Copies of this chain bind each other. A is one copy, B any other.
Amino acid sequence: MPATIERQDGEGQDTHQGLAWPVTAALRALAMDAVEQAKSGHPGAPMGMAEIAAVLWRGVMRHDPADPRWPDRDRFVLSNGHASMLLYGLLHLTGYDLPIEELKRFRQLHSKTPGHPEYRMTPGVETTTGPLGQGLTNAVGMALAERTLAAQFNRPGHAIVDHRTFVVLGDGCLMEGISHEAASLAGRLGLGKLIAVWDDNGISIDGKVTEWFSDDTPARFRAYGWQVIEGVDGHDPEAIARAFAQALADQTKPTLICARTTIGRGAPTKQGHQDTHGAPLGAEEIARTRAAMGWTHPPFHVPAEVYAAWDGRARGAALSAEWRDRFSTYAAAHPDLAAEFERRLAGDLPAGFADAAAVALTAETAAGAVATRKAGQIALTEFAKALPELLGGSADLAHSNLTFHPKSVPVTRDPAGNQILFGVREFGMSAIANGLALHGGFIPYVATFLVFSDYARNAVRMSALMGLRVIYVFTHDSISVGEDGPTHQPIEHVESLRLIPGLDVWRPADAAETAVAWTAALERRDGPTALILTRQALPPQPTSGLDVLAETGARVLRDAVGPCATLVATGSEVRLATDAAALLAQAGLPVRVVSVPCVERFEALPVEARAALVPAGTPVVVVEAGVTRGWRGLAGPAGRVVGLDRFGESAPEKDLLKEFGFTAERVADVVAAAVGGSAGGAA
């Protein structure tokens, strides 16, 4: 190993000397060794990005390995998440709580080094990445959160929020459509503290990307309004450092640094080839690479002087201490703001939350027969008064989703604003919401038509996988959308969202249930919620069971002595169920009606509590204007599901409901058939 750990000027120009820089050799060796030991993984990108990472993590980025949650740290996102060993190497070498034993257990069960970086699993991992393009988009959300939080909390002479968001991305991220949505909106918003580095290695899994990707990417990003720094040699530390300096200097535009790199750099016979992307290099090539780098150490061994050169703890401690001093001064000058800042960052609801929830519920009860999207707006209006952390908007459907309120101020007009006009960018919006939640200080909510939750689906999944408090407002929730027809009528969507582990799906039956749903979504700290709301007005239902609905997910709306069946329904079909129950009662067939706005909470109940709501022994008939498959278990062999297992049609709502049998008469008939009686006289 060369005696000099730190590089000299001009070394980056020399390929061989560059390779022999022990600082980057350590990163490359750890990536090779861990992938080899795991017998799977992606060595190519970590090896190709070693110099970029070293320059960024050792000097540019402000972070404290001992305090990975320090609020004003710079954020780092590895959008090409398969390069996870780069990140684990960086965390280990700079002094985070990630010992070498964890690197040896790369990709093993319950290690802190999973195949792709996972939020909450590893200190210093800011987001879960792997699904391409979403890391970049999370970063846009983080940068927006930083700017908004700064505008809300900084005061003259007190910049307590002032950090950068760095994101590294590959060709794959740039090909994904979501990169367009994210970069376009970041350009419009002028997120000047967002700095992206494109690992331009010209290779993706199928080979040389020119065969399927020939964009002029710098021109594309300039068209979005970004600062673009082109032609940076990604293996020349000096050039990289200059590019970061230029990026840091312009705070009016996001920056894309285009860094030309060689995938798998250092591996003498494999570098530059897709074979380095997603498979171990093999013992022979690893030996050759060690020789080329002059790295004589055994696997997973890093000499003390290299650790010392990487160690970021002293610098980090100084940076975070300086910030704590700044925050103390701020707290002395603005004690209330400081306390509020700490509450916001902790994710605690404000003291007035319970009151706001009560007021919202009262307002809903007074609202009468309204669409649940309108009820959602009523709830949002009340909560927005009490929760300045609410930051959200719609994908160009604000006036349809009704996700604005009297205190809405677009962030484009006031950086301290609370409304984001996302444009027609459902996927980008949702991954940005994940970034807002990851950053901290905000409860994001985002909205579109339910049918277009499809466009955003993997970001919803990522909210759930990361356990983020993101609120999805999906309106226009069934064939009752009407004339817009089958492209706009959800059929499979409510049930499909219920299948995502960890996502709470609420489909309220009236305005009051909508208030409960909004309240539950806000109170839930460990995961996302989807609010499924109607376009059309729904009558208010009885208030029985509302007080415990957040726990039970279900409530009895109408009961009977000795009921012959239980009618279970959600959302707009609850009205049908209660109307059918009235018809059945006239026909001498008393039934219980149960609203189940949140299946997840209902199913989480102990079996006795569930049976207390939906008893065994009499047939269960479920009514929901969507696919039936998920409900057949609850209905059981003696029951029925009144649903819709085909696409809808373009027509006025009333015609569709009749066409597809969503009438109280038909529901009553189905119940009567299930119990072996007849509702004919009544219907």
Contact = CB atoms under 8 A, between A and B. Distances in A.
A425 B485 contact: no
A499 to B, nearest CB: 4
Interface string A112-152: 00111010000000001111110000000000000000000
A59 interface: no
Contacts of A464: 647
A472 to B, nearest CB: 14
A215 interface: yes
Contacts of A645: 501
Interface residues of A, number: 113
A632 interface: yes
Contacts of A422: 212
Interface in A211-235: 211-217, 219-220, 222-225
A184 B213 contact: yes
A410 interface: yes
A205 B396 contact: yes
A634 B616 CA distance: 18
Q: Name which of A461, A491, A627 has the most chain B CB atoms within 10 A of its CB.
A: A461
Contact of A652 (B108, B172, B206): B108
A500 B454 CA distance: 11
Interface string A5-44: 0000000000000000000000000000000001011000
Contact of A458 (B180, B455, B498): B455
A296 interface: no
Contacts of A631: 633
Contact of A109 (B129, B457, B655): B655
A223 B365 CA distance: 55
A422 to B, nearest CB: 7
Nearest to A222: B219
A646 to B, nearest CB: 5
A629 interface: yes
Interface in A381-422: 394, 396-400, 410, 412, 421-422
A441 interface: no
A245 interface: no
A568 B38 CA distance: 34
B397 A211 contact: no
Nearest to A458: B454
A428 B485 CA distance: 23
A107 interface: yes
Interface string A29-70: 000000000101100000000000000000000000000000
Interface string A485-521: 1111001100110111110000000000000000000
A42 to B, nearest CB: 10
A28 to B, nearest CB: 20
Contacts of A492: 461, 496, 499-501
A177 B178 contact: yes
A423 interface: yes
Contact of A175 (B222, B423, B457): B423
Contact of A501 (B211, B217, B491): B491
A131 B435 CA distance: 25
Contact of A177 (B206, B427, B491): B427
Nearest to A38: B483
Given A128-B487, A396-B204, A629 B498 contact: yes
Interface of A: 38, 40-41, 81-82, 107-111, 114-116, 118, 128-133, 171-173, 175-181, 184-185, 187-188, 204-206, 209, 211-217, 219-220, 222-225, 394, 396-400, 410, 412, 421-425, 427-428, 451-452, 454-455, 457-458, 461-462, 464-465, 482-488, 491-492, 495-496, 498-502, 616, 627, 629-637, 645-647, 649-652, 655-656, 659
Given A109-B650, A132-B424, A188-B213, 10 more contacts: A107-B650, A177-B180, A177-B425, A206-B398, A206-B423, A216-B223, A216-B225, A219-B223, A464-B647, A501-B627
